[in-house]
A = this chain, B = another copy of it.
Amino acid sequence: MADDAAVQAANAALYLAFETADVDAMERAWDDVEPDCVVCVHPGWPMLRGRGPVLRSWSAVMAGTAYEQFFLTDVQVAVEGDTAVVTCTENVLTSADVAENASAVATNVFRRRADGWRLQVHHASPVLGRLVDG
């Protein structure tokens, strides 16, 4: 359970970095031991690879985003060895003048490093409609 708590904290730090547009915190959130293995999918985007391109994308996204607050729900943490997989629903409240707030789902893969859990994969995707055929 100690692992779970540490992973949950690392996961929360990612969203806090985004909320506060903190570029330094965003850099700390992501793994720098295997920079080529860093992968990020923003909702609706193609896959970005490599720590450099991924961090640049976050800088662009944060610069272009009005204030957003995330309420994470349905958070599940699965730790196996030095890998942790977090799956969750991102409920986003924005300051933009939109009729309804957005929902996305995310898979975040963390690696245990000497200085803690660092993000290797962030895959977020839009929830576009109701569940069909389920």
Q: Is A127 an interface residue (CB 8 A)?
A: yes
- Restricting to A87-134, which residues have a CB under 8 Å from any CB of B? 87-89, 103, 105, 107, 109, 111, 120-121, 123-129, 131, 133-134
Chain B residues, CB < 8 A from A13: none
Query: In whole Å, how far is A39's beta carbon from the nearest beta carbon of chain B?
Result: 5
- Restricting to A50-98, which residues have a CB under 8 Å from any CB of B? 53, 56-57, 60-61, 63-64, 74, 76, 78, 80-83, 85, 87-89
| Cα distance A48–B47 in the bound complex, in angstroms | 22
Q: How large is the interface on A (under 10, 10 to 19, 20 to 34, 35 or more residues)?
A: 35 or more
Query: In whole Å, how far is A89's beta carbon from the nearest beta carbon of chain B?
Result: 6
Q: Is A37 an interface residue (CB 8 A)?
A: yes
A133 and B64 contact, Cβ closer than 8 Å, known pairs A76-B49, A82-B80, A127-B44: yes
**Nearest B residue (CB) for A37:** B78
Please report A residues at the B interface, Cβ cutoff 8 Å: 34, 37, 39, 41, 43-49, 53, 56-57, 60-61, 63-64, 74, 76, 78, 80-83, 85, 87-89, 103, 105, 107, 109, 111, 120-121, 123-129, 131, 133-134
